[in-house]
Structure 1
């Protein structure tokens, strides 16, 4: 898909209603209720390769649903995970920090929630043997946690995600490749973090690619926000779609 056509597609989807062809899905992990979103492409359906999509620090919102439907349009099944709990969609920054902070302090719970989302996707008939995890901001940090856990995924992708490696962790167990899409003007996640991750991935001999979009601040893909940068958004999305084609079989 050419850049101009992709930009038009992005603009169209931004104007769409909150939900596409998919459905909200209730599930439980360790006795707690969660609510994700599951969608499949019209033609290949459940046989399509899977993308596990992990939300930003405001929880699973219309934004992730739009992105999920964009991926379904491109031929992928998508399970958008819920890491905060059913109905927990914080709007105040202090609440967002609370919910993300709880998971940053309990990395095992974060891993359990990610694996629980995959288990739920599998129960819905998703092709979890051919899957990639991707996430935005906080979701990107969660995806890298999944990579370090040794999860059997084909790849791990972050859009302006948290890049730091917790003390005592490394990428020695990472099985899939890693794609990092980062803004050069990001004031929340520094280029020092970017460089440190590059060194960590190299040390562990992980197949990786790390791209910087000059002038793009943190959250450069978030429609309607002051930080949105269409050029970086379109280019990063195009690279993501190309990456998916390279690591996942056609549906």
Structure 2
């Protein structure tokens, strides 16, 4: 009983310390008539140049994983903002709805790009330096991060965690200015070898400064602790890949920001 009480006290102390280091708030904004509501997480003390990180969530929309990422980055001094891609009253409640919604934006990629740009504007309004911004994304959000690079949004770099790499082959390949970091599960069944090859050729033709890191024994969603541990399902958490990819991202942020 005494041990459990001590553990509870330690957890409460950690929670208080974290909340003292960051300040979180919902931020409403609009895309036409569609109300959007993202989350701003600011550090108690930002870095001198006030770098900003835009977080694009996975296909379920704003989730605990995105919130945890924002908090962790904010404690390091980054001003963070979690984008709302779907809309305040238009969020999926199950995987089927998430697949339909994310699929709609993948087919209408310009609409996805607009939602990313609107979120970037909100990040700047929260105090981030418009000249020192990186976009990171998970799964569906990783696709969005790469789109931010493909369209040369005003960002220093992008990071895709187990994101979709595909693009319409009829799209023109333009010179890519933001630096690109792709963190990929070596056994991700949702990205074919052909799609990966096309992506790498695209990066070369775009003269991008790009990196792609593969993680052994990792499938899709390897950073999501709620994805289970069964690789045979195609999506599963991998603790080692999660830790390694986080370190890779931090090194990338230090380099570009």
Separation in 1, partners of 2:78, 2:126: 14
How many Å apart are 1:26 and its aligned residue?
1.0
The higher-RCO structure (CA 8 Å, 6+ apart) is: 1
RMSD: 2.1
1:76 aligns with 2:85: no
Q: Separation in 1 of the partners of 2:75 and 2:175?
A: 33
> Partner of 1:4 in structure 2?
none
2:237 is the alignment partner of 1:228: yes
Q: Does 1:238 align with 2:238?
A: no
2:174 match: 172
CA displacement at 1:168 relative to structure 2: 2.5
Structure 2: 5+ residue stretches without partners = 1-10, 229-235
Q: Which moved more, 1:66-75 or 1:184-193?
A: 184-193
Give unmatched runs, 5+ long, in structure 1: 1-11
Matching residue of 1:59: 61
User: What is the distance in 2 between the residues matched to 1:37 and 1:224?
Assistant: 21
After TM superposition, which residue ranges in structure 1, 4 or more long, deviate above 3 angstroms? Answer: none
Distance 1:102 1:184 in 2: 27
**Deviation per CA, 1:64-93, whole angstroms, max 9, x where unpaired?**
011101111222111110100014331322
Q: 2:136 aligns with which of 116, 134, 137?
A: 134
TM-score by length of 1: 0.87
Secondary structure (helix, strand or coil) at the match of 2:160 reads strand
Larger Rg: 2
